[in-house]
Amino acid sequence: MKGVQFENLRDAGDPAELARAHSQAGADEIVLLDISATRQGRTTLLATVQRTAKQLFVPFTVGGGVKNLEDAAAVFSAGADKISVNSAALSDPDLITTVAKRFGSQAVVVAIDAKRCRTTSKWQAFTHGGRKETGRDAVEWAREAEERGAGEILLTSMDRDGTGSGFDCELTRMVSDAVRIPVIASGGAGRAEDFIEVFQQGHADAALAASIFHYGLRGMGDLKQTLDNAGIPVRWPC
């Protein structure tokens, strides 16, 4: 079953309302990413998570700024089913194991932002919103994340993100074939056909789209119909 997730953007309106609307429109899972870097932002985030979770009955992942077990626990208590870790996991991979041990691997998503290096043709992992190089090979990091207890990998192509030119299927396939946990493809979705490609060629287990301006709320139905026509099993909400 291929999943389609929607990532909420804060400046697009009230996350709680958007999440509910997307889930009603057919999103299989919802991801809420906190892009604020302030302490004040964290309190707001937890309140938002709580409000959003109250009326959401599909899996709900929250990411952004989770640095330790305490942060993770607060996010779960607020109503998230899974947390996503990125920068904090790369600087302290033990965090993955710690959270997985306490809450279960299925609750830990490791987000990897990857950019292709022109000289080596391999992908490097970046942190801090894609600003900081790590020198880590993205595929190798994904393997390590799995070994340390990650339940899923949320893989964002920095090269494709925001371009609407399609997912990076080569990157997605490299990572998906290297690990045995689900890989969620992210970055570059522009047309329904992009989703077909990332499932078939990219071997993705799920795909994430963030731009509600491309799809609108009715677009989810059309998108799933296109996938269905291409023979990709999709879920229709009742």
Partner 1 sequence: MIAIVDYGAGNLVSVKKALDWLGHASEITSDPDVISKSHKIVLPGVGHFSSTGVLGRSGAQQAIEERTRNGTPFLGICVGLQWMFEGSEEAPEIAGSGMFQGKCLRFPSTSKLPHVGWNHLTISETSRLFRGIAQSSLVYFTHSYFVPLAESTVACCEYGRSFSAAVEKENLFGVQFHPEKSGDVGLRLLTNFCGL
Question: With b meaning 16 or more CB within 10 Å and e meaning fewer, what string describes 114-139?
Answer: bbbeeeeeebbbbbeeeeeebebbbb
Helix (H) or strand (E) holding 46: helix 39-54
Nearer to partner 1, 98 or 134 (CB): 98
Give the shortest CB-176-to-partner 1 separation in angstroms: 10
Considering only CA atoms, which of 32, 36, 2 is closest in space to residue 17? 32
Give the shortest CB-69-to-partner 1 separation in angstroms: 13
Nearer to partner 1, 11 or 70 (CB): 70
Distance from C-alpha of 110 to C-alpha of 204, rounded to nearest angstrom: 15
CA dihedral of residues 151, 29, 31, 67 (deg, nearest 10): -30
Give the shortest CB-152-to-partner 1 separation in angstroms: 7
Among 36, 43, 44, 55, binds partner 1 (CB under 8 A): 55
Among 39, 118, 180, 218, binds partner 1 (CB under 8 A): 180
Among 32, 45, 53, 227, binds partner 1 (CB under 8 A): 53
Among 90, 205, 215, 227, binds partner 1 (CB under 8 A): 205
Among 120, 121, 218, 238, binds partner 1 (CB under 8 A): 238
Please answer whether residues 44 and 74 qualify as being in contact, where contact means their C-beta atoms are separated by less than 8 angstroms. Answer: no
Q: Which of residues 119-148 bind partner 1 (CB under 8 A)?
A: none
Considering only CA atoms, which of 76, 84, 24 is closest in space to residue 53? 76
SS3 77: helix
Which residues of the shown chain bind partner 1 in the complex (CB under 8 A)?
Answer: 1, 3, 23, 28, 53-55, 57-59, 76-77, 79, 81, 103-107, 151-152, 180-182, 205-206, 235, 237-238
